[in-house]
Amino acid sequence: MTSRERVWAAITHQPVDRIPCDFWGTAEVRRMLLQHFRTDDWQVVLDELGVDAIVSIGMRYAGPRWTGPDGRPAGLWGVQSRTITLPTGGTYSERIHAPMAEFTEVAQVEDFDLGDPADWDFAAAAEAARNAHPHSVTMGGYLAPYVDLWNLFGEQRALLNIALRPELIEAVLDRVIDYRLRQHRMFFAAAAEWLDLAQVTDDFGSQNGLVMSPAAIRSLFWPHYRRAIALAHEFGLKVYHHDDGGIGEIVPDLVEMGVEVLNPIQYRCRHMDREWLKREFGDRLCFHAAIDNQYVLPFGTPEDVRREVRENIRILASDGTGYICGPCHNIQSGTPLENVLALYDEIRTAGNRQ
């Protein structure tokens, strides 16, 4: 099987010749692997590791520039961030301005100019999808209502407003989801011929469970999720849902609404028992990732990593399919090279025993 055939077979619960795998890693980890394999070509690294990969197709903003309150350049809707350097040499982006952080009234939301959802380069995204589709399963778009709230309010204010001003949150979601659905309809119209998956996603989980009550999620977010999932299905796309942490309480809802691929399966978090997930939802969900990168990948031995791979394949591919193996988030800077190599070597070895 080709990589595309192998990943698609796992997603659609068909037999596979071996368990497919994917790669997520920080820029520092990528540089480490490029150096190890003595190449400047990332595809060489993927081939050496035996990575099948789902290729994500993004959209480039092409509209009027946004600026923050200080007049400096900003991202969509005026969100500003800065880069933080870690002791390991890695970096991450930290938000420093959320444009709705001080909003308290629905009228302020109604007066806020979100811009034109047509201000994106759909043609370039369609071309990228067309080029990737022959050799890889492709995933396009990013519909993430709660993430948009994070960016507009900041995480703390978003959660406070969900509890104290739900009418404000509903007003923001109504406007933002309208923007996103119009944006993605244009994107899918241009690119769906070469797309396989649409990402309808969020981050409702923490290490110890959900960041808010299931009732709040169902009331505020699920009506918009149903619209987003319906749009993806209208264009013949399967729905991929990324959600870190302990989200087990809402997995039945996601399946009922039409989610077909679930990532990242952080099984060390509360309510994320792998046996339960596979037993209850394995006929409807393809599981993506699951290799622990909080403990095993950064701090374990290569044999610990190999054991982790075997255990995940045993559980999540117990029927021989429905699982794409890989790290449960970006492999972080500071992770030993030998552990990364052991991860992909064992996926090839153990995955071929199915």
Cα gap 67→73, rounded to integer Å: 4
Cα gap 212→310, rounded to integer Å: 34
Domain ranges of the chain: 3-64+91-351
CATH of 3-64+91-351, picked from 3.40.50.1580, 3.40.718.10, 3.20.20.210, 3.30.70.260, is 3.20.20.210
Cα three-residue angle 34-39-41, rounded to 5 degrees: 85
Mean pLDDT of the chain: 96
The neighbouring-strand residues paired with 93 are 83
204 CB-near residues (< 8 Å, 6+ apart): 146, 210, 211, 212, 217, 243, 245, 247, 250
Residue 265 phi/psi, 5-degree rounding, is 60, 65
314 CB-near residues (< 8 Å, 6+ apart): none
Please compute the mean of the pLDDT values over residues 206-213 and round it to a whole number. 96
Contact 29, 333 (CB under 8 A): yes
> C-alpha distances in angstroms, 184 versus 121, 187, 345?
12, 5, 38
pLDDT tens-digit profile of 21-58? Answer: 999 999 999 999 999 999 999 999 999 999 999 999 99
Please compute the mean of the pLDDT values over residues 136-152 and round it to a whole number. 97
Rounded to two decimals, the pTM is 0.97
Cα three-residue angle 292-33-6, rounded to 5 degrees: 60
DSSP per-residue codes, 154-195: -HHHHHHHHHH-HHHHHHHHHHHHHHHHHHHHHHHHHHGGG-
Query: What is the separation of C-alpha 220 from the centre of its chain, rounded to a whole number of angstroms?
Result: 21
Cα gap 311→308, rounded to integer Å: 5
pLDDT at 354: 60
pLDDT tens-digit profile of 172-203? Answer: 999 999 999 999 999 999 999 999 999 999 99
pLDDT at 150: 94
pLDDT at 91: 83
Of the pLDDT bands very low, low, confident and very high (cuts 50, 70, 90), residue 249 is very high
| Angle formed by the axes of helices 302-316 and 274-281, nearest 10° | 30
Of the pLDDT bands very low, low, confident and very high (cuts 50, 70, 90), residue 89 is confident
- Positions of E strands within the chain: 54-57, 66-67, 73-74, 80-85, 91-97, 137-143, 197-200, 205-206, 209-210, 238-242, 261-263, 286-291, 323-327
Is residue 81 helix, strand or coil?
strand
